[in-house]
Structure 1
Amino acid sequence: MVAYFKGWLDDLRLAAGLLTRLPVPQPDDALPQGLARAQRAFPLVGALIGLCIGLIDRALLGIGIPSLAAAALALGASAALTGAMHEDGLADVGDGFGGGRDRAAKLAIMRDSRLGTYGALVLLVSFAARLSALASLPLAAIVPTLVVAHALARAAIPVLAANMPLARDDGLGASAGQPETASVVAAVIVAAAIALLCLPAKAALLAIAVTAAGAAAIALLAWRQIGGVTGDVFGAAEQIGETAVLVMLAARLS
């Protein structure tokens, strides 16, 4: 039992070090074998990120900051906390899928660090949707909504990693490895439990459904465009899931 909980703690530390800019001490034997298993802890890290962002938003509202400005600053804090890694993935996918003529060109564009028109437009749409949704949430719903959105969105990553082929053999997506079925199931159960604990049952199930739909959509698109997934596709999946959950819950709860 002690070893079991130590394994989860090690995975949580490794996942936090990968998904955030926090200086989290890493287990001595974590890399590279532990990266795949640590994906089961992604929803827990996502929930903690959502909690931090929700508390920041609530604090800003508490000192009289207008809701739109508070939401914008909270989303900015989210990008700072994560290093904007998922936003970067979404932008790269937008540029690559929108601007590449064939698979090789799409992958080359996605590797390019420069931001193009398609990437900028996708980022703008994503940010505007999350901003307006967050600003419209009732005060009591801000923290639970963000916790659920971030937890569910990060659960999509191990699901895609386990079920989709890699589009290339290098990069973050390849180095993270393919998680075993047990790790994927654990991530899904943890994310679903967080949703059911934080939200009314119907809202939680709808949040799970829209996350699954978003993950399926990006998986199908990536399959058609580049024949598999990359780290950028994982980032895009997170952003799509997060945005979808925020917009859906804002529509229901506002």
Structure 2
Amino acid sequence: MKRAARGKPLTNPDNRLFAAIDLPAALGLLTRLPVPVDGAAATARGAAAVWAYPLAGVVVGGLQALAMGGLLWLGVPAAITAALVLALAVTLTGAMHEDGLADSIDGLWGGWDKARRLAIMKDSHIGTYGVIALVLTLGLRWTALGLIAGAGDFALVLVVVAAVSRAAMVGVMAALPHARDGGLSHAVGRPAPRVAWVAVGIGAGLALITGHVGLVMVATVIAVLWVVIARAKIGGQTGDILGATQQLVEVALLIAVVSALD
């Protein structure tokens, strides 16, 4: 829903299901790609535009696949290719999802009550829990990408993983209320069910047509577990929780992919 700067609902929210600004707005928010975005139009759309998150994932995953293919063609070993592709992914998103993961793990497990957990999540400093979470997830992603690169069948897989993990973000946005009166997630708003279903449908559709439908089930299980944890710990979601959703689902999907390799 369209919201004013101070969090008050505006009188004329843009409730169209689709708008031309939606994909540029998603790319402008979720990536560091130099995409021209009409700020006023994007703000007016708010949460109505989040159906395009998985399409932003398609762009990110596609760029990763192109980089992986190019590096392997040049003869770069799979392990080094995986490290460079991982670095590209972090650069493309400005590490915003990794930051959300670290803040979420620090806060959810470092505080004794909701207020303290939210305070820790808002703090720009990183704690032990966050460092451990980043080391583990980056290590798992690197290992998985190396195995996928070595197998050679990676183009569609990387696109599907990137799209489905971002569709999961939208599902969590719709499933949970805002945990605080402020922040990026609150500014964007909470998507209507139909918007969330479009995002989920895009991710599931890509998985289905590429033969990776099992990844939808994996993403659903991880997202539901994360919703349960976030609701129990802070009573809702924040931008950090959403970033962590993307990371946790991506790791789970990559593990599922490499587990299925011959």
For the criterion TM > 0.5, the same-fold answer is: yes
**CA contact under 8 A between 2:17 and 2:195: conserved in structure 1?**
no
**CA contact under 8 A between 2:177 and 2:190: conserved in structure 1?**
no
Alignment of 1:113-152 (within 5 A): 113-137=124-148, 138-152=150-164
Residue identity matched to 2:203: A
- Which residue is 2:238 aligned to? 230
Alpha-carbon distance in 2 for matches of 1:170, 1:192: 31
**CA contact under 8 A between 1:58 and 1:139: conserved in structure 2?**
no
Q: Any stretches of 5+ residues in structure 1 without a counterpart?
A: none
- Which residue is 1:96 aligned to? 107
Q: Any stretches of 5+ residues in structure 2 without a counterpart?
A: 1-15
Q: Post-superposition shift, 1:57? A: 1.6
Question: What number of residue pairs does the alignment pair up?
Answer: 246
Q: Percent identity?
A: 40
Alignment of 1:1-254 (within 5 A): 7-27=18-38, 29-137=40-148, 138-198=150-210, 200=211, 204-254=212-262
Alpha-carbon distance in 2 for matches of 1:91, 1:251: 26
Cα gap change, 1:117 to 1:106, in 2 (>3 Å): same
Secondary structure, in 3 states, of the residue corresponding to 2:21? helix
Alpha-carbon distance in 1 for matches of 2:237, 2:32: 24
TM-score, normalised by the number of residues in structure 1: 0.92
Residue identity matched to 1:251: S
Cα gap change, 1:6 to 1:227, in 2 (>3 Å): closer
Going by fraction, where is helix more abundant, 1 or 2?
A: 1
Provide Cα deviations, 1:110-134, integer angstroms capped at 9, x if missing partner.
Answer: 0111111100100111111111111
Secondary structure, in 3 states, of the residue corresponding to 2:154? helix
Secondary structure, in 3 states, of the residue corresponding to 1:141? coil
Provide Cα deviations, 1:63-116, integer angstroms capped at 9, x if missing partner.
Answer: 122211111111111111110100000000111112112111111110111111
Give me the CA root mean square deviation: 1.7
Alpha-carbon distance in 1 for matches of 2:77, 2:156: 20
Provide Cα deviations, 1:17-58, integer angstroms capped at 9, x if missing partner.
Answer: 011011211136424231211110001110110110111122
